[in-house]
Amino acid sequence: MGGTHFADDDLAHEATGDGDVGRRDVGKMEHGCEHYRRRCKIVAPCCKEVFPCRHCHNDATALGDRHNICRQDVEKVVCVLCDTEQPVSQVCVRCGVNMGEYFCDVCKFYDDDTEKGQYHCHDCGICRVGGKENYFHCAKCGSCYAVALRDNHQCVEDSMRQNCPICYEYLFDSLKGTRVLNCGHTMHMDCFAEMVDHNKYTCPICSKTALDMTVHWGMLDQEIEATIMPPVYRYKVWVLCNDCNKVSEVDFHVIGHKCSHCNSYNTRSTSRPADLSGSSSPLTTDSS
């Protein structure tokens, strides 16, 4: 990885005085792993082995004796430039480099690539990316969301403290971007895109429509208008709307059934509701 190395006697006269600022930047962005740019490796608190980061550790142990590192438990790091093992801190005690341009003392987290906009959210208890100014912590959902969603999303308690319904990875501290659906449920952005690619537009958890379908519903309206059903199929059916949870009685059509309350085509056929089915239903009790 072609890092910048320097002789020990250089350190003696440059680690103090004016050289400090330049010294801190030595090797910046030149070291790290597929997950982070950083100038230290961590000593795994569990198995005492040295890894570039906790994800590398978790991946490496995934096939055998699987165990994950709890980020706060990391106590020791090894400077990549001078190979010195030392307690967690931003600046190497021996050679004086920043082992991470961004450093969080709570998460024992280092990253040289500050373009990611890392910040520590005290409510989440972890470091996040994307710039503190672009996110707010929603106490009800229990996670940081984009500011555009402030007072503008369906809160689902601990929505992010679940596995992605598509790939089953735990969402809360996933390195991948996440998306909040209209219903408030969450999944990875990539997993969402893949779902839409497969022409699936509903939330896998609650079946509600996951994105704005106004245009698509308009197209269905036109298609239905243009497709007259033969007389034998001209009858009414009951549908339950997955979006507003109401039932309506609509004309049967092969293309789709539109909810007469909210105009969604995200409906499924249902039986005639008990309270409308007349006195024969055992479920109906006369309250008058």
Give the footprint of Zn ion on this chain (CB under 5 A): 33, 35, 52-53, 55-56, 79, 81-82, 92, 94-95, 104, 106-107, 120-121, 123-124, 127, 137-138, 140-141, 144, 155, 164, 166-167, 183, 185, 188, 191, 203, 205-206, 241, 243-244, 259, 261-262, 264
85 vs 284, beta carbon nearer Zn ion? 85
Instruction: Report the alpha-carbon distance of residue 43 to residue 51 in Å, rounded.
Output: 7
Instruction: Classify residue 263 as left (phi > 0), alpha (psi -120 to 50) or beta.
Output: left
29 vs 124, beta carbon nearer Zn ion? 124
Q: How far is the CB of 245 from Zn ion (least distance, A)?
A: 7
Q: How many CA atoms lie within 13 A of 276 on its CB side?
A: 7
Tokens of 231: 């007389």
Exposure class string for 44-60: b at 16+ Cβ within 10 A, else e: bbeeeeebbbbbbbeee
Distance of alpha carbon 245 from the chain centroid: 27
Q: How far is the CB of 82 from Zn ion (least distance, A)?
A: 3
Q: Please identify which residue in the block is written with the tokens 């106004």.
A: 214
Residue 108, burial from CB neighbour count under 10 angstroms (0-12, 13-18, 19+): buried
Q: How far is the CB of 286 from Zn ion (least distance, A)?
A: 29
Q: How far is the CB of 115 from Zn ion (least distance, A)?
A: 18
Q: How far is the CB of 231 from Zn ion (least distance, A)?
A: 28
47 vs 124, beta carbon nearer Zn ion? 124
Instruction: Report the alpha-carbon distance of residue 248 to residue 263 in Å, rounded.
Output: 11
14 vs 284, beta carbon nearer Zn ion? 14
Q: How far is the CB of 275 from Zn ion (least distance, A)?
A: 18
Under 8 Å between Cβ of 105 and 75: no
163 vs 277, beta carbon nearer Zn ion? 163
Instruction: Report the alpha-carbon distance of residue 276 to residue 253 in Å, rounded.
Output: 22
Residues near 205 by Cβ (< 8 Å), separated by ≥ 6? 165, 183, 185
One-letter identity of residue 226: A
Q: Please identify which residue in the block is written with the tokens 């994950």.
A: 68
Q: How many CA atoms lie within 13 A of 170 on its CB side?
A: 5
228 vs 261, beta carbon nearer Zn ion? 261
263 vs 284, beta carbon nearer Zn ion? 263
Q: How far is the CB of 65 from Zn ion (least distance, A)?
A: 19
Q: How far apart are the first and last CA of the chain?
A: 82
Q: How far is the CB of 252 from Zn ion (least distance, A)?
A: 18
237 vs 284, beta carbon nearer Zn ion? 237
